[in-house]
Amino acid sequence: MRNRIIALVAVLIALVGLFPAPAAQAQTATASDLRARLGYLLSEHVALAASATGGALGGRAPQFQAAAAALDANSVDISKAIGSVYGADAETAFLALWRSHIDIVVRYTTALGNNDQAAADAAAADLLAYADTLATFLNGANPNLPVAAVSDLVKMHLTSLKDVIDAQKAGDAKAQFTAIRAAYGHMDMIASGLAGGIAAQFPDKFTGKADDGAANLRAGLNTLFGEHVYLAARATSGALGGRQAEFEAAAAALDANSVDISKAVGSVYGADAESAFLPLWRSHIDIVVRYTTALGNNDQAAADAAAADLLAYADTLANFLSGANPNLPAATVSDLVEMHLTTLKTVIDAQKAGDQTAVYTELRSAMGHMGMIADPLAAAIVAQFPEKFGGAAQPAPAATAMPMPMPAGGQPATPATLPNTGAAEDGMALMLGAALLLLVVGGLALMRMRRSA
């Protein structure tokens, strides 16, 4: 396998000349757009890979097959993102190279499942070799992407994903979700560097910076919201599948995600703001748990009541945000939040029905939709507080554009060697805190929602 990869990269490096400048007629986008799109796709890659390996090691073949199919669809989408910049031939070359590392991950997982440590070690070595392969390929296409820096980031991705698989094999659900959050959060660091390097190569096509305050805000919010959906889906899957340890670990990770959001708020506006935000955010998770429990008990009346409360929550949160920021019309925000809750509900319904293909189709939709919430929120906050983000807001992408989300939990330190790699946390905290400032002053009464005993 390793020799095949080396041979493959030799061919691909020879194809570097296939990476032309973007077509002159292509529309101009922003570096922030590119970072957000890549960040969403790369973090989704981690999520789907973890679900696939979890299904394989857990003996859940339908889950493995559906997650693996979704993972390959994600690979195609990543290659199309490359092709949108460098052309169709580069898209084809990249897809083959990208798929090769997924093949190694499958080989590693299979070896663990067979308790074949020698084969597992060989696959792990090939993963590290792949980091240099991909870095060399990207540097050949774009000299703004240093081989050593890119290789280090790719190795961090691969080792963090390996940590997830090792925890799955060991049956340590808590360690699995700790590792998932770290692996998920790391991917924006790669997306930021790639977007910055591409924007530097093609400044006429990609305007602005990939790591300024507004871009960091957008990326951080996308990361947290996307992680929220994925962890919620993993928790409900564990609950409906009778995997109690998985449910408890995923639910704990989901609550840690909520705490991270509230701490970001508190880091700007203090402990009182942090304390006010956390129960509001947790309240809709409580309703999701109530809905899932009702489905598990085949109690349709209780499920319908919980579903109605989810719709009411959309208006509650929309009123909060609209009251905090006049750039956020309540009706529009309510529709977006309602779509989030509806798409998550659809995932849970598919889990209850045991339709794994539908689960992963709907999960991709639900995760992808979160960019449609994060982007306008970020743009509206930047427009409201331009002094905090270095200028006026960049326009959010159209609702039909590629969605772009995902998890800030457990992010490694940002390397200084890859161009335009920025930490998202400060912008994210400012965004959430800014929105909360007026909420705390004038909207606390809206926080009361029906909750089950």
pLDDT tens-digit series, residues 164-208? 999 999 999 999 999 999 999 999 999 999 999 999 999 999 999
Mean pLDDT score, 375-398: 70
CA angle 184, 188, 190 (to 5 degrees): 110
CB burial string 61-93: b at 16+ within 10 A, e below: eebbbbbbbbbeebbebbbebbbbbbbeebbeb
Q: Is the pLDDT of residue 431 over 70?
A: no
Spatial CA neighbour of 104 closest among 209, 211, 3: 3
pLDDT digits (tens, 9 = 90+) for 269-299: 558 767 877 888 899 999 999 999 999 999 9
For residue 437, pLDDT over 60 is answered with no
- The larger pLDDT score, comparing residue 159 to residue 445, is at 159
Partners of residue 207 on adjacent β-strands: 30
Whole-prediction pTM:
0.82
pLDDT recorded at residue 391: 52
pLDDT digits (tens, 9 = 90+) for 291-339: 999 999 999 999 999 999 999 999 988 887 787 778 889 999 999 999 9
Give the pLDDT confidence of 215-262 residue by residue, as tens digits. 998 998 899 999 999 999 999 999 999 999 999 999 999 999 988 877
Residue 206, classed as helix, strand or coil, is: strand
Measured CA to CA in angstroms, residue 215 lies from 84, 125, 260 at distances of 20, 35, 19
